Homo-oligomer: A and B are copies of this chain.
């Protein structure tokens, strides 16, 4: 702000505000973020934030929408490049999801804040994601590749929730005695999960 070239680029300004806001909201949650700190961080004036986004609440919505859209499209892409349903593909899907969350810690925290707010918006957004995944499981079940006495949606929910919670609550359980690394836990989870969902021979 001090010595910035006197040029105007509203798109860039919006982006800079969104980026700074996302960083702060991810870190501190909605209530704890002060617009003054955000303005400082984004190197714009407070008024400019209001000009572009109306209010703190609307900015929060914009941040969430952008982040969840990123999440959604990334997942959709992963889903579409998946091939025929079989156990090996389920395994690699879990790995892919786990690593996506590991590489996108911001979206994990954004999900957590949103859950606590009781905002079900993001949940509705991935209805089709889960629906497609569950359909995929259902097909594998019909072919006898997965055990058939389990609700397909629950299969999806189980690994999504496990991956999510692993990273959401990492500060909580990372110091538990005997707890292994990201990869070690994923490995053990997959052992249990894959053994649990495939039919006994």
B176 touches A157 (CB 8 A): yes
Q: Is A75 an interface residue (CB 8 A)?
A: no
Is A127 a contact partner of B191 (Cβ separation < 8 A)?
A: no
| Chain A residues within 8 Å of B, Cβ to Cβ | 28-32, 109, 111-116, 118-120, 122-124, 126-127, 130-131, 134, 147, 149-155, 157-158, 160-162, 164-166, 168-169, 171-180, 184-185, 188-189, 191-197, 200
B115 and A175: CB pair below 8 A? no
- In the complex, which residues of chain B have a beta carbon less than 8 angstroms from the beta carbon of A29? 29, 31, 116
A194 to B192, CA, bound (A): 8
| A-B residue pairs in contact (CB < 8 Å), sample of 19 | A30-B32, A109-B116, A118-B171, A123-B171, A123-B172, A124-B175, A130-B176, A131-B176, A134-B178, A150-B191, A157-B179, A158-B189, A161-B161, A161-B169, A165-B168, A192-B192, A193-B196, A194-B196, A195-B195
